[in-house]
Structure 1
Amino acid sequence: MTQEAFLNMAVRLTLVYAAIFCGALVVGAVTTPGVVAGGTGVIGGDFLAFYTAGDFARHGEALQAYDFAAFDAKLKERASLEAIGMMWQYPPTMFFIVAPFAWLPYKASYFLWIATGWGALLLSLHALNFRGRAFWLLGFSVICVSVAAWGQISMATAALLFLSAYGPKRRWLVAGVAAGLLTIKPQLGLLLPVAFMAAGAWRTIAVAAVTAVLFHAPSFLVYGVDGWRDFLSAAARLNADVVGPGLYTPPQGMATLFGQLRALGLAGPIAAGVQYIFAAAIMIVVGLMWRRSDDALARAALLCAGAILAAPYAYGYEMTVLLLSAAYLARQAADYRAWQARFVICTTLVVMLFAALPPIGALQITFLVSAAAFAMTLLVMLRPSAARPAAGAVGQPA
């Protein structure tokens, strides 16, 4: 099969899979009475938490969302399950984002939520100059499709990370604004200051700081200091559960070394300590490679892959950030038979099938995929040939 034929086939399969998956998701949501699905889950997954917080804000009771008992009771008004296992730990600024969605019926709001996040991701790929087959393969990949079922905000936050990480010194205004907005989920931006300083992107840092202040200032005016105090208390409660019993944040499905170690039975405080050391090592690697390389896509790919590993708390739905690693590896492959391309293809199949695969002991597929993406991106960057795109490369932004 020629390279051209393979790429055309890959695009068709990607779009067909996305259409079937999303179609089944819509049909299942519409035909299911209420929001409870299968007796243990809910339509929209984690979107129920965003909708519930928006409902609190819509009724002028936003800070009640930080009260675990009140939030849990409100969740169970819509989903009569014994245990839902959701907490609210976003900054008060998030209330302005989720409140409008609470004015719509739940399922319609869920569809709009996914469409909005997906649209943001597609716009970010377009802004990075992905066109044609690369755009379709990335924008409708298996990872994006799976996030739709999670109901998470991760496609929108991945879009902000992409815009922040791609050429921040040259595109300082866009990158700085995106980085400032990403403070809505700050754990994903831990590597950005390191990268910006390594690149000498001082204007980007200034723009990010100003954007963050302006972005969050309205929440201080509306909710006052109490809103941020309640948020910090909720974050502390989340951290205590992550490191402690994991009743609401189980290690299963985490994409971090911490989650893998917890799944293997390591005590929470020890696993957290190892995670901090691991995160520091990733920061050093990213800083050094950003100083070594001038390739905008390579830099962004490494940072985005490292972002999910360095975060103290990240689940599989954050793997949307791995799209740039896939794009970079594919670009460096001479054709679809090259080892870089085979890695991307095999990883895509694993992500597509892992929910149906039997557990492999205590191994966390989400962590293994994220770690492999970071390692492969780093390996390719270290190769002498990485300085120039390979012949027949795919998805090379200008």
Structure 2
Amino acid sequence: MPSTNNERPATRRVTVYALAALAIQILALGIWIFRFYILEDHSSPMVGIDFAIFWSAARVAMAHGAAYVFSPQWMLPMELALGLDNYSPWPYPPTFLLAVLPFGRLPFGIALSIYSILGLLAYGAVLARLCRGIDRAYLPLVLAFPGVAIAIGLGQNSLFTVAAAGAALAMIEVETALAGACIAILAIKPQFGVLFPLALICGRQWKTFGVSALCTLAIVGASLVAFGVDAWLAFAEFLPQFSTLAVEQGGIMMWPGMPTAFALGRSAGLSVNASYLLHGVVAAPAVLAMAYLWMRRARFELRAASLIIATLLVQPYIMFYDLVWLILPLVFLVRDHRTVALGRMEWIVIGAAWLAPAQAVLSAYLHQYLNILPAVMIALVIIVVRRHGATAPEFTNPSGEPSRRTC
């Protein structure tokens, strides 16, 4: 949708701010990499610190067996040799270990570089597909989204998972089989794929559902062939321990970096059960709203946005580096702006969501729960449902086209 005369000055200002934010992120990331790897100044956290855990796990799996990646006895020496200060556990299923195994065959620096480039390319390709047709004035906001720099700096896998989810949604109505295959990739981090089957069932998209199920089984089967049953048994034994220590009893070292309703409750002094109850009260309406929109065959942008928002809200444990996923609902809402113009308050909520990854980093490193994300996500759910209601029959032109009204 072309910008109106009133919108253009504000859009130009936002473009300048976004480009300035992008330049600051690139400069900060460059300085961080230069200081750590060129000047060998280790006073700041390691660049690619989370990838160091992935690489260490791949090395341990090749040398001793996949089941040993859950043991500090074997992981700690590898991690210390890379420069980590203490033991960082591997809480991922063998499906993700299968994905990172090839990187363990490379020297760490080369592996990190290839991993980061591949993640950025996958993310960029999917965003380029999703951003087709939106006003170019909004592209700087997409490019400058702070979640990307955070994921690259930490060496996290969130660029790959958001690319898989975005690709699935980009193809779900035109290449249903490929969409199912992309959903199956989320088996590397299965909590992020948990709501896709529900959405597909509610949307009666049986082919995509079937292909995703078969491909997921194939990925799990490949991990069984590669690592054996012992790796899965070790994972099943380790996961409750990790959940208790890192999630339920994480304290100020974990909860401030977890932008979830559960972490909010624990940070406020609620018990574990009360925090789970609070989390359920927040997550359940989002899941119901998502199911409703998929059952009603709402506009694709609204269905897609609701699925990603509900996926983030339903997780008791996500970290600030996972918030790169927020780019998807933001892009889908900007795309929906072409059908029903976004109102001022909606733009404010979108702006808050855009800032959420940076704000969550601040919360994590100050060790104070300052996250605004639960409230922002609830507001996004309300926006999506309201925008669906705004194009109900009473808001539709006689021609059948949605009204160009501002929500």
Give the TM-score of the pair, scaled to structure 2: 0.83
* Corresponding residue number in structure 2 for 1:106: 108
Instruction: Say if 1:211 and 1:391 are closer, same or farther in 2 by CA, change over 3 A.
Output: same
Cα offset for 1:211?
0.8
* Corresponding residue number in structure 1 for 2:97: 95
Match of 1:377 among 366, 384, 398: 384
Instruction: Say if 1:337 and 1:145 are closer, same or farther in 2 by CA, change over 3 A.
Output: farther
Instruction: Say if 1:27 and 1:46 are closer, same or farther in 2 by CA, change over 3 A.
Output: same
- Within 2, Cα distance between the matches of 1:113 and 1:229? 28
| Counterpart contact for 2:298–2:388, Cα < 8 Å | no
* Corresponding residue number in structure 2 for 1:219: 223
SS at match of 2:270: coil
CA offset digits 1:183-213 (Å, max 9, x no partner): 1111111211111111001111100011112
* Corresponding residue number in structure 1 for 2:126: 124
* Corresponding residue number in structure 2 for 1:368: 375
Cα offset for 1:72?
2.8
Instruction: Give the stretch that moved more between structures: 32-41 or 15-24.
Output: 32-41
Cα offset for 1:344?
2.0
SS at match of 1:93: helix
CA offset digits 1:61-105 (Å, max 9, x no partner): 433211133223321222252x45x21121212223223333444
| Counterpart contact for 2:147–2:323, Cα < 8 Å | yes
One-letter amino acid of the structure 1 residue matched with residue 176 of structure 2: W
One-letter amino acid of the structure 2 residue matched with residue 49 of structure 1: I
Q: Counterparts in 2 of 1:1-398, with a 5 A limit?
A: 2-4=6-8, 6-7=10-11, 10-11=14-15, 13-32=17-36, 39=43, 41-59=45-63, 61-79=65-83, 81=85, 83-84=86-87, 86-128=88-130, 130=132, 132-166=136-170, 168=172, 170-246=174-250, 250-276=254-280, 278-333=282-337, 338-349=344-355, 351-352=357-358, 355=361, 362-384=369-391
| Counterpart contact for 1:169–1:201, Cα < 8 Å | no
Alpha carbon RMSD of aligned pairs, Å?
A: 3.4
- Within 2, Cα distance between the matches of 1:248 and 1:218? 38
- Within 1, Cα distance between the matches of 2:289 and 2:174? 22
One-letter amino acid of the structure 1 residue matched with residue 250 of structure 2: G
| Counterpart contact for 2:391–2:402, Cα < 8 Å | no
| Counterpart contact for 1:241–1:248, Cα < 8 Å | no
Cα offset for 1:392?
11
Give unpaired runs (5+ residues) of structure 1: 394-398
| Counterpart contact for 1:290–1:299, Cα < 8 Å | yes
One-letter amino acid of the structure 1 residue matched with residue 47 of structure 2: I
Cα offset for 1:239?
1.8
Instruction: Say if 1:209 and 1:381 are closer, same or farther in 2 by CA, change over 3 A.
Output: same
One-letter amino acid of the structure 2 residue matched with residue 110 of structure 1: L
Cα offset for 1:233?
1.8
* Corresponding residue number in structure 2 for 1:396: none
- Within 2, Cα distance between the matches of 1:65 and 1:34? 30
Cα offset for 1:295?
0.8
Cα offset for 1:15?
4.1
CA offset digits 1:294-322 (Å, max 9, x no partner): 31111001110110111232112222222
- Within 1, Cα distance between the matches of 2:374 and 2:285? 17
One-letter amino acid of the structure 1 residue matched with residue 383 of structure 2: M
One-letter amino acid of the structure 2 residue matched with residue 373 of structure 1: L
- Within 1, Cα distance between the matches of 2:291 and 2:103? 39
- Within 2, Cα distance between the matches of 1:154 and 1:343? 23
| Counterpart contact for 1:166–1:296, Cα < 8 Å | no
Cα offset for 1:5?
5.2
| Counterpart contact for 1:325–1:377, Cα < 8 Å | no
Instruction: Say if 1:336 and 1:198 are closer, same or farther in 2 by CA, change over 3 A.
Output: closer
- Within 1, Cα distance between the matches of 2:231 and 2:250? 25
Instruction: Say if 1:291 and 1:90 are closer, same or farther in 2 by CA, change over 3 A.
Output: same
One-letter amino acid of the structure 2 residue matched with residue 217 of structure 1: G
- Within 1, Cα distance between the matches of 2:103 and 2:304? 32
Instruction: Say if 1:90 and 1:353 are closer, same or farther in 2 by CA, change over 3 A.
Output: closer
Instruction: Say if 1:352 and 1:226 are closer, same or farther in 2 by CA, change over 3 A.
Output: closer
- Within 1, Cα distance between the matches of 2:22 and 2:191? 29
Identity %: 21
Instruction: Say if 1:8 and 1:117 are closer, same or farther in 2 by CA, change over 3 A.
Output: farther
Instruction: Say if 1:249 and 1:34 are closer, same or farther in 2 by CA, change over 3 A.
Output: farther
Cα offset for 1:267?
1.7
- Within 2, Cα distance between the matches of 1:178 and 1:382? 30
SS at match of 1:46: helix
Instruction: Give the stretch that moved more between structures: 357-366 or 103-112.
Output: 357-366
- Within 2, Cα distance between the matches of 1:35 and 1:213? 46
